Structure formats: structure tokens, C-alpha cells
Amino acid sequence: MKRIAVVLITLLIVASFTGCTGTTLYLLNWGDYISEEVVQAFEEEYNVKVVMDEVDSNEAMYEKVKSGNTAYDVAVPSDYMIQKLAVENLLNKVDKSKIDNLQDDTIEPIVKQLMQQSDINEYAVPYFYGCIGIMYRNQFADVVNQYGFRVLFDPSVLPEGTKVGMYNSGRDAVSAALLYLGYDVNTNDDQQLQQAEDLLKNMDYSIWGDDNLKTEIIAGNLDLALVYSGDFFDSYYAVLEEGTELEFNFMTPLSTNIWVDGMVIPTTSENQDLAHKFINYFLATDNALTNVAHVGYTPVVSKVYDIMLEDESWNDITGHRYFRDIYFDENFKGQMYRNLTPEHYEKLEEILLRAKQ
């Protein structure tokens, strides 16, 4: 993510850790998903070295943890993958007594609720959260705001020649269709899945993509597409930083998939005390704010969002309707992905293949 040009609060955390000289903490994370400034401050604070490996999918993260080839101390998977890792006994439970910055009021209520609903609360501490939605060029604002997910599946509501992009993932594409139909994103009901497949077949998508969908919209090669909120805000922050004209935007349907990425401690960890200190460090308000400024995703620490609301330098972000909807709209209902059986995942990918034919 591009760094936002804001004035950040000086790191003020005072902590002590003995006997860690020369210690290495092994971190498994997504690309550009952490502030190097905070990582370096942590290294200096505890006289350690953080070595980070990057992945581009939860499945790749799972394989790296499962292989045991690297003794990862902390990893940052998404909710459904945390479930899978926990079920397969690949995660240690987080000892909350070792995380002083994790108090009852630390985490946003909606995130706490999601963590409890997904049965990952014992194994993870939330890092960031977000949702899937529709990124669009400005001239399509009215139709997107009127019809929501319908614009991804019903060409009759779109101007002729509209170029639509869809995520090249059975999980995400089918889930968007299920959400439009009013079904559970985790359903294994064959009739409901067939209806979702029919919707996907009903559209002639210009591009089946992933992270490139946002760049295609910016370039004008697509008019609208299913994207993750973070993909939009990555581009949004870049425009704010450059001072150029904003020609695109993002709409959050009030019923959508909402995800939570969490910091977990794999059973491979050889430095569990240090892993807890690392997690604790990134929950400290000043550090979490610096991390949000770099990464750009929705903060999970309540005090961070309060600071953003009070600081005018964040107005372009906190004033976006996404933040109003996801934080304050009582009608917002996020559905989380659950860990599915291999047979269920295979079924989703088969639907995707048929839809693309």
C-alpha cells in the first residue's frame, strides 16, 4: 500500500524484554501489509530481527505453515484459514494474559462479534478487516448505488456496452452471486449453488481477474467490478497522495462478505513469548495508527478510529461512505467465509470453470 501523507504520533510504548539478544522472529504475511517503521521500532525495542516471508493467498500461507520448513512465530491469515489451521492443530492458542494492549474495549465491537462467530477468538488477534464490494467508474455511480450486486449479474440494468469484471475465484464469484440472491455465502445447497452458477453464466464478463481488476478500472478498461475494499483503498490513497482527479469509487452492499485477518502463532514457533510481544506491539494505539497509515485497511483498534475521526487530516478517508456504512449503518450485515470441505471448494471451482466457458 502507498503511505498516506499524514502527521503520525511518535511511538511512545515502553516495554522490557530480556534475554532476546540475537533472537529472530519469523513472520509470514501478505505483501506490503505491514509498516516497516513499526517493525523496525519493534526490532530496536527488543533487540531482535524480524524476518518476513510474503504470500499472495491464504492457501499459500497454509502450505507454508503446514510444511514446517520455517519456524514461523507469527502469521496473518484470514478468518476461514485460521479455522482450517486451528482444526488441523497447526496453531497455538493465544495467551491473552500476555497481551496487555488487548483489553475489553480495545477492539471494535463488530470485529469482536465476528471473531466470536467464526470460532477463531482463541487462536487469533484481529489485524485488519474489510469486505467485498463494487468498484466503479464515476459515471456508473447511480446504477451501482441503485442496484448493488445486481449490476454484476443482470445486464438489463446496465447501459449497453458496460464492461464488467469478476474475481477469478470460485469462492468470491459464487459468494457475490449468493449474496445477491440473499443466500448464505457458505451454503452447500445444490439448488442455491445452481442459481448462483446461472447468474454467473448470464454475464459476459470482460475480464476475470484478481488484484488487476482495480487497475483495469482506473485505466478505463473496465467500468465496474467485484473487488476487495482494500484493493479500492490502495488506489484511492494513491490518488489522494498524488492530488489527481478521482475518477472511480467503491460501493459497499449492506449485505456482503466481511473478512477479518488475524495475527496467529503457529505451532512451529520457537519464540512464543516474543510472538506475543510482537502482537501486543501492533495493538498499541500509536503503532496501530502508523500501521493503518501505511497499509490503508480498516482499523480494528477502536481508539485508532476515534483518532482518525477527530483528526481532519483523515477526513478524506473517514468521510468515505464505506466507513460510514461498515461502522455505523445498523442495516449492515456482513457474512464471514467459513472453512469448507475439500469437496465444497472443488464444487465452487467447477462452477467457476463452467461459468467461464
Q: Kindly state the helix (H) or strand (E) to which residue 251 belongs, with its residue range.
A: strand 248-251
> Which distant-in-sequence residues (6+ apart) come within 8 Å of 26 by Cβ?
51, 52, 53, 70, 71, 72, 73, 74
Q: What are phi and psi of 178, to 5 degrees?
A: -65, -40
What pLDDT, on a 0 to 100 scale, did the predictor assign at position 168? 92
pTM (2 decimals)? 0.84
- Contact of 351 with 177, CB cutoff 8 Å: no
Q: What is the DSSP string of 73-84?
A: SEE--BHHHHHH
Whole-angstrom CA distances from 279 to 12, 232, 245, 301 are 16, 27, 38, 13
Residue 130 to residue 1: CA distance in whole angstroms:
15
Three-state DSSP at 53 gives strand
Scanning the structure block, which residue is given the C-alpha cell 449485505?
255
Query: What is the CATH number assigned to the segment(s) 130-257+334-356?
Result: 3.40.190.10
Q: What are phi and psi of 104, to 5 degrees?
A: -60, -30
Domain ranges of the chain: 130-257+334-356
Query: What confidence tens digit (pLDDT) does each residue in 51-106 have?
Result: 999 998 888 999 999 999 999 999 999 999 999 999 999 999 999 999 999 999 99
pLDDT grade for 19, boundaries at 50, 70 and 90: very low
pLDDT grade for 343, boundaries at 50, 70 and 90: very high
Mean residue pLDDT of the chain comes to: 90
What pLDDT, on a 0 to 100 scale, did the predictor assign at position 22? 60
